[in-house]
Amino acid sequence: MAQEHISRKPRDKDSSDQAQESVTKSSDKAALDSEVDDLLDDIDSVLEENAEEFVASFVQKGGE
Amino acid sequence: MTVRRVMGIETEYGISVPGREDVSATVASAHVVTAYSRQMPGANRQRVRWEFGDESPLRDARGFDMSRADADPSQLTDEDFGYANAVLPNGARLYVDHAHPEYSSPEVTNPLDAVLYDAAGEEIMRRSLAELQADPQTPTIRLYKNNSDSKGASYGTHENYLMSRATPFQAIAAALIPFFVCRPVITGSGRIGIGRAGELPGFQISSRADYFEEEIGLETTMRRPIINTRDEPHADANEYRRLHVIVGDANMSQTATYLKLGFTSLVLHAVEAGVDFGDLALVEPVIQMHEVSYDTELTRTMLLRDGRKLTAIDLLEIYLERATKSVLEHDEQTDDVIERVGQILGQLRADKWTLASELDWVAKLRILEGYRKRDGLDWNAPALAMVDLQYSDIDSHRGLANKLMAKGSLKTLFGQDQIDLAVDEPPIDTRAWFRGKCVTRFPSEVAAASWDAVVFDTPGNEALQRISTLDPFKGTRAHVASLFDRAGTADEFLALLEQS
């Protein structure tokens, strides 16, 4: 049964965790800043165009 | 019991059709629901309707009937679309709630499974959009796992916890009000703007806090209360109550969801065990809830009724300590929740930025601060509002939280292979297994389903057959898998069920 393959536990260490540890262990400001700069470059490439118009047109009705 | 109990999460997704203000959100939401139904196993069949309970004549149960299911979505009116509904192979419900597509996860027994099936909900939304957008005539649709448009409207991410009916509601409410005021420092998703419509520039920890105005009440859409008193247990009401928690943020971070459910369940366990939190009562808790959300430095103190002044972290540490002491039987997940909450509170105290890889509000704030510094932006810059919104876009590439996860900058608890399985397979240890397997195995014969019943319409029976699933712990794989294995047809299955 396929369901048996669903681990009921989180993965203790996957590669992304390990990569991240090196970042979070040092709260060194310079290291964080340079990681953020990389992230921003990545985000720039996917951010919706015409942010002002896009955000203004995001109007929701209530729910719940 | 410890952090383990029957629980689940309902998520209303924000939806937009950019450039097409003429398309109603309700119609767009129905497209999302019906698109997913079309690609479910046994597609083209009659969609499974929601069963509205004993009091409704079944033949009148609202939902898609055969003719509506066969109709092209564009032919359906807004009203038809309001009833779009599907019961999914993993036991979840996917439907249109007001003007949002909503995924109600299947019942699970522990916080980690709640995270997994919540993530499966995101994947289901992604697949639905992929199906829709494969048709070039469909306008672009975006889905957001967030709680607000920052123009005054808010929609919910509700947690549900099955509790013992024996625990007095007043004790539950008294314990939970200060807890829910403080919990967002771990579970907040972050939001640009202060005030319901973001009247003041700035950033706050919780995307929901500003929309709460009362301490206790039944409402969910206006004058929202910190403690919601809705109590349809979908189980034996003499034995259980369902605690319906409406204060929570929609989390992209799996860690935040895990600790939201885990820590809350732990505190509920303590309340059920008789631990008293009455001394933590706050002066003006609704105002405190807003103020906690605005205090990104995490240093502001709150006045307690007994005169003490404590920070949100101080209070959560007290909750953790008392709840931990009440745990007599330890299990792996309970110990893990206790350890992680303790670590995170310590990190929040020492240096919140160390949690940018785990908590949504910190991850989001770090990006926003990066933009502010790099581009010299004020808090009211449209680019920052765009980042805030796009953080919760469910798309794998466009969504910023998803992007962070793909890069390893936001930790995950489950891999895509595990999430894919949870899209198709129900949890094995609740009645959701029975529900999910019924709609997978007998798609043509299941006429309707709900949390506490599955209704069959079979060739061998003139009358509809309603199978009650009132006990959340029955209908597990261990209970009924052999019946599914032995039955060739739905009628055989029902006969076997009757004998068992």
Beta strands B191-194 and B85-87: pairing type? unpaired
* Rounded mean pLDDT, A1-7: 40
The domain segmentation of chain B, as residue ranges, is 7-420
Question: pTM score, two decimals?
Answer: 0.90
pLDDT at B430 over 60: yes
**Three-state DSSP string of chain A:** CHHHHCCCCCCCCCHHHHHHHHHHHCCCHHHHHHHHHHHHHHHHCCCCCCHHHHHHCCCCCCCC
For residue A37, the chain B residues in CB contact (below 8 A) are: 370, 374
State the smallest CA–CA distance between residue A31 and chain B in angstroms: 12
pLDDT of residue B329: 87
State the smallest CA–CA distance between residue B162 and chain A in angstroms: 20
State the smallest CA–CA distance between residue A38 and chain B in angstroms: 10
Contact across the interface for A64 and B156, Cβ inside 8 Å: yes
How far is CA B380 from each of CA A45, A53, B181, B333, B376, rounded to the nearest angstrom?
21, 14, 26, 42, 12
Q: Which of A6, A45, A57 is the best residue to mutate to test the B interface, defined by the most B CB atoms within 10 Å of its own CB?
A: A6
For residue B211, the chain A residues in CB contact (below 8 A) are: none
* Rounded mean pLDDT, B311-334: 96
pLDDT at B371 over 50: yes
User: Which range, of B28-37, B195-204, B247-256, averages the lowest pLDDT?
Assistant: B28-37
pLDDT of residue A27: 52
Structure tokens at B162: 């099955």
pLDDT at B174 over 90: yes
Of B153, B366, B390, the CB nearest to A62: B153
pLDDT of residue B230: 85
* Rounded mean pLDDT, B473-489: 97
For residue B191, the chain A residues in CB contact (below 8 A) are: none
Percent of chain B with pLDDT over 90: 83
For residue B374, the chain A residues in CB contact (below 8 A) are: 37, 40
Closest by CA to B390, choosing from A42, A55, A11, is A55
Contact across the interface for B14 and A60, Cβ inside 8 Å: yes
Strand residue runs (E) in B390-469: 446-450, 453-456, 465-468
State the smallest CA–CA distance between residue A8 and chain B in angstroms: 7
Structure tokens at B271: 């309340």
pLDDT of residue A30: 65
pLDDT at B43 over 70: no
pLDDT at B245 over 80: yes
Of B246, B424, B477, the CB nearest to A64: B246
Please report which confidence band the pLDDT of residue B219 belongs to, taking 50, 70 and 90 as the band edges.
confident
Please report which confidence band the pLDDT of residue A9 belongs to, taking 50, 70 and 90 as the band edges.
very low
Model pLDDT for residues B95-115, shown as the tens digit of each residue: 998 899 999 999 999 999 999
pLDDT at B445 over 80: yes
Model pLDDT for residues B78-87, shown as the tens digit of each residue: 445 546 889 9
CA angle B350–B352–B214, rounded 5-degree value: 110
Using CA of residue B380, residue B143, residue B245, residue B410, what is the dihedral sign? negative
Q: Are B469 and B454 in contact (CB under 8 A)?
A: yes
Of B221, B389, B409, the CB nearest to A55: B389
Radius of gyration of chain B (CA): 23
Contact across the interface for A55 and B155, Cβ inside 8 Å: no
pLDDT of residue B221: 82
For residue A11, the chain B residues in CB contact (below 8 A) are: 413-415
Q: Which of B191, B254, B386 is the best residue to mutate to test the A interface, defined by the most A CB atoms within 10 Å of its own CB?
A: B386
CATH class of B7-420: alpha beta
Helix (H, G, I), strand (E, B) or coil at B374: helix
Contact across the interface for B153 and A47, Cβ inside 8 Å: no
Of A2, A52, A62, the CB nearest to B155: A62
Model pLDDT for residues B112-151, shown as the tens digit of each residue: 999 999 999 999 999 999 999 998 888 999 999 999 999 9
Contact across the interface for A54 and B408, Cβ inside 8 Å: no
Mean pLDDT of chain B: 91
For residue B426, the chain A residues in CB contact (below 8 A) are: 3
pLDDT of residue B145: 98
Per the annotation, the verdict on B388 as an active-site residue is no
Of B19, B366, B414, the CB nearest to A10: B414
CA B398/CA B395 separation, integer angstroms: 5
For residue A15, the chain B residues in CB contact (below 8 A) are: 408
Of B18, B354, B421, the CB nearest to A6: B421
User: Which range, of A20-24, B228-232, B399-403, averages the lowest pLDDT?
Assistant: A20-24
Residue of B97, B113, B360, B393 with catalytic role: B97
* Rounded mean pLDDT, B375-387: 97
Contact across the interface for A43 and B21, Cβ inside 8 Å: no
Helix (H, G, I), strand (E, B) or coil at B477: helix
Radius of gyration of chain A (CA): 20
pLDDT of residue B40: 79
How far is CA B218 from each of CA A8, B215, B352, rounded to the nearest angstrom?
35, 10, 35
User: Which range, of B20-24, B243-247, B455-459, averages the lowest pLDDT?
Assistant: B20-24
Contact across the interface for B25 and A60, Cβ inside 8 Å: yes
